[in-house]
A and B are shown apart, each in its own frame.
Chain A
């Protein structure tokens, strides 16, 4: 396990290098120098900001020096200041993290709580009525534009039926609520975003679970377990399910970029003050410091998610540790 762990940890160094290099490259896309300071490209930026940027990025220095300086600041979590309100980018991001984190964790819980039982049930009777119905729904889930589904749900549950609030995270009279009422209020605001943002992942993981379970049920040890007369329940849930769940651990890591990317869209639709909406606002305002910081952070987060998933997989399935990479 230790050799595996150290090998994996070593492998993230080139990844980190590449992530920062690509992010750096993106802001230097405009020929010659960053688009940030090119006023013909971007009239929104004033002269004073321009001066500050030239100094901040050390634009009079050669490119590789600029890159190294930028890395050094990154390592100290110094992302500079936001153009729009001059606050530290770090603070702006940190205050938005809890909400995005909460929604994504709730979505993941929701996805797994539904996808695993549905996948298992489908795999028990492939091509049965339940399986056919679910396959249809999964196909639908893959094809439906999330933001459109969000609009439909807002219209149906928010406007026509009036059951749920459709924007923001708290009601206008939030200040006057008691503690439990406040909790309820926040929960009500989270129902639609969590449900809508789960659709894509739900479809993917249901499908994955179904095939993983189907494969596990074909294994020789299942025949052995059946042959020695174990009850069907025990064979399915103890022998097959446990093995079928192993690869799902990896999927958990792989679903992180999708969820984070999706948060830009649904946080914007539902007006939720999370990291995704912050990124959208930054893009609209051409707030480059904020954009760069978020791009790097999100990529590093995704990388760490994958790393943790890999390590967890190797932990639960010893065969992985000895596989050559």
Chain B
């Protein structure tokens, strides 16, 4: 097997952040919301490796707990989007005709809305919460997967092995799930890992605008809210959370790239 550096580096990065997120309780040196009046806006030091914020809270601890939120939002949102995309893509590709035309028009229509506008409009009505953010990012991100799965299925459904399956009396559901879908899973996985990166980016952007994960629950995006008011005073508040977002997304993108190579 050929060496696949992208995949290896990507998995290492994500495994690291994943473990930190899962064992946040053990990794974090302080309580993420413990206020310390005597240590406001302290630069990185031995006691506070990444410094403290304007309430004296330990930045490292907040980022460790933030990893939980950011990763969870990314993964669950993409989970929703992928399930929806695979389902609608299968239905459209397999049944064709009116259903196909309807689903594909729906894809075209939703793609007309810049994601951020649609999400913000919904947030304005439903109030921001972690749950709402996951669901909304998921509901606005399935179109690419649906197109992908549909085209895979269209190119496969006339092949001999499908006819053979039909000849021995396999049901439509069985043909889709056992014979067609496995072929499409590779590209779906590639686009899903890429999607987790963009979902995390979207969540951090929303939280930065104050319309995503709400403080005091820490997420990488909402820690950065404070970065704007402490610009030029406390560089660590700006640098570290952004770096965490950057490296995580880089990790998912590398995995996606590596998987693409692996599939062929």
Contact = CB atoms under 8 A, between A and B. Distances in A.
A261 B117 contact: yes
Contacts of B89: none
22 contacts: A14-B105, A14-B109, A15-B112, A26-B121, A29-B122, A35-B125, A140-B250, A143-B197, A145-B201, A145-B204, A145-B245, A148-B241, A151-B227, A152-B238, A155-B232, A257-B112, A268-B209, A282-B124, A292-B121, A298-B114, A298-B117, A303-B112
Contact of B114 (A19, A29, A258): A258
A187 interface: no
Contacts of A286: 124
A320 interface: no
A279 interface: yes
Contacts of B250: 139-140, 143
Contact of B120 (A30, A146, A283): A283
Contact of A280 (B209, B231, B241): B209
Interface of B: 105-106, 108-118, 120-127, 197, 201, 204-205, 208-211, 224, 227-228, 231-232, 235, 238-239, 241-242, 245-246, 249-250, 253-254
A251 interface: no
A69 B245 CA distance: 45
A325 to B, nearest CB: 10
Contacts of A143: 197, 246, 249-250, 253
Given A143-B197, A288-B125, 13 more contacts: A26-B118, A29-B125, A35-B125, A143-B246, A147-B204, A147-B224, A257-B114, A258-B114, A283-B123, A283-B124, A284-B211, A298-B117, A306-B112
Contacts of A283: 120-121, 123-124, 211
Interface in A13-53: 14-15, 18-19, 22, 26-27, 29-30, 35, 41
Given A151-B228, A151-B231, A299-B112, A260 B117 contact: yes
A294 interface: yes
A77 interface: no
Interface residues of A, number: 53
Nearest to B254: A139
A63 to B, nearest CB: 17
A3 interface: no
A151 B227 CA distance: 8
A295 B227 CA distance: 29
Contacts of A160: 232
Interface of B is mostly: helix
A291 B124 CA distance: 9
A118 interface: no
Looking at A145, A147, A155, A260, the one whose CB has the most chain B CB atoms below 10 A away is A145
A145 B246 contact: yes
Contacts of A300: 112
Interface in A141-161: 142-149, 151-152, 154-155, 159-160
A82 interface: no
B238 A148 contact: yes
B19 to A, nearest CB: 21
A264 interface: yes
B108 A15 contact: yes
A144 B211 CA distance: 20
A140 B242 CA distance: 13
A246 interface: no
A264 B228 CA distance: 16
Contact of B228 (A139, A269, A295): A269
Contacts of B115: 257, 261
A281 B25 CA distance: 37
A268 B116 CA distance: 13
A298 B253 CA distance: 29
Contact of A298 (B113, B126, B204): B113
Contacts of B201: 145
Nearest to A152: B238
Contacts of A27: 121, 125
Interface in A73-88: none
B50 to A, nearest CB: 15
B112 A148 contact: no
A145 B209 CA distance: 13
Nearest to B120: A283
Interface string A285-308: 010100110110011101100100
Contacts of A282: 124
A54 to B, nearest CB: 17
A18 B253 contact: no
Interface string A262-279: 101100110000000001
Nearest to A257: B114
B239 to A, nearest CB: 8
Looking at B110, B120, B227, the one whose CB has the most chain A CB atoms below 10 A away is B120
